[in-house]
Amino acid sequence: MIPTKKVYLLLSLGIILAPTIASFTKVATGISIILLYDAVILTLMIIDSLRARRFRVDITRELPPRLSIGRDNAVKLEVKSITNTIIKICDYYPNSFNINQSEIRIKVEKDTTSEVTYTAFPTKRGEFNWGDIQIRQLGAWGLGWDNWKIPQSLKVKVYPDLIGLKSLSIRLTLQSSGSMRQFRQLGIGTEFSELRNYRSGDDLRLIDWKATARRVGAGNRSPLVRVLEPEQEQTLLILLDRGRLMTAQVQGLQRFDWGLNATLSLALAGLHRGDKVGVGVFDRQIHTWIPPERGQHQLSHLIDRLTPIQPVLLESDYVGAVTHVIQQHTRRCLIVVITDIIDATASSELLSALSRLTPRYLSFCVALRDPQVDAIAHTFTEDVQGAYTRAVALDLMAQRQVAFANLKGRGVLVLDAPANQISNELVERYLQLKARNQL
């Protein structure tokens, strides 16, 4: 049981009135009156807390089956009460989570069930212990809190950004159904899709003369043209760096986590387009290799295999990773390397490795930029220390541009985007590559 502010105010009132009481009575009598007053207040507080114990609320917690890293995951608390009361709820969430409400105070009505929702923002993947629920329930007189715990401890697992994958899946489905198709254009692609009537401006080379002749024979003189779509059932291989550069914190998450989210988003897009998708995670050597397969079961397999992996403080061997891929897959395919680039010198090994892929393979280098560096570089300051920091940021950006220019000069596709935006931009670039039939 815990006293409320009202109890402290009443006890303070007794102290304030003590001199007045002492002026009308003997000192011993005054002290006795004050002590009796305090004893009555404390007794009422105890009785109020004990009475509240008889009408304790019941609370159950509802969590998503799998939490997504870097996202606000909704946590629902269901409160059942048999009396009118006020309660305070403190949920013992994992320490590495950011919570929008550390303490929840609500008023519940008699014989009702209320729902309270707050959000948990995990910053690390893995398995975590979620503790019990601490409850304080106010007594009817407002003098005491009944304090107890509801046993609700359990283990929760934090996965990559599954919420983002669900949104992406919906968007890809809408695109493929035609309502949001952005890249399907006549004459782009090599796979036959359908025949349709000729329209002004269509490429004459796409007219299907045999189908048109049959149609003319049936009395319809409008020519038919072939609609071509990007080729399906190609192969997409993703190499995800988990070395030293990927351990840095960017926007609250490790750079590797942003890269992992981008890997799964790209894999989902590839599988949705009918491609085979394989993933390799590397540092000094290939840590994990998942051979390319097609079908939605491959995405579940990728999530299960990749979720436990963490970055390490080791220098990455790009040449070794690329060599492994070449040995495993000899046919032409799209190879995407997700990493980061510091400067032209440090990226020389990456440049050497990706150069080995051209022209047999289509190589694509994806770099995860820190948005904070961009913000510093574009913020003018008159402070000496700030000016020095800005100069360093500008120099880093300039060196990155040199490194990217070298990669482009070797025929390597390049995407340099802020880490927190990389997933969407990478998927868009992949869809453009498919639409233009660059592979």
- The tens digit of pLDDT for each residue in 336-386 reads 999 998 776 777 888 889 888 888 899 999 999 998 988 888 888 888 888
On the question of pLDDT at 191 being above 80, the answer is no
Domain definitions of the chain by residue range = 1-159, 162-170+232-435, 184-229
The radius of gyration of the chain's CA atoms, rounded to the nearest angstrom, is 33
Q: Residue 186 has what pLDDT? A: 41
Residue keyed to tokens 């913000």: 375
**Residue 155, token pair as written in the block:** 């283990």
Q: What is the mean pLDDT of the chain?
A: 87
Residue 132 CB partners (closer than 8 Å, separation 6+): 92, 149, 150, 151, 152, 153
Sheet harboring 73-81: ordered strands across? 58-62, 73-81, 112-122, 97-99
CATH architecture type of domain 162-170+232-435: 3-Layer(aba) Sandwich (3.40)
The H or E element spanning position 379 is none
246 in Cβ contact with 338 (< 8 Å):
no
Sheet harboring 144-150: ordered strands across? 2-3, 144-150, 133-138, 85-91, 104-108
What CA–CA distance (Å, rounded) separates 58 from 78?
8
CATH architecture type of domain 1-159: Sandwich (2.60)
CA angle 313, 316, 319 (to 5 degrees): 170
**pLDDT tens, residue by residue, 18-59:** 777 767 777 677 778 888 888 999 999 999 999 989 999 999
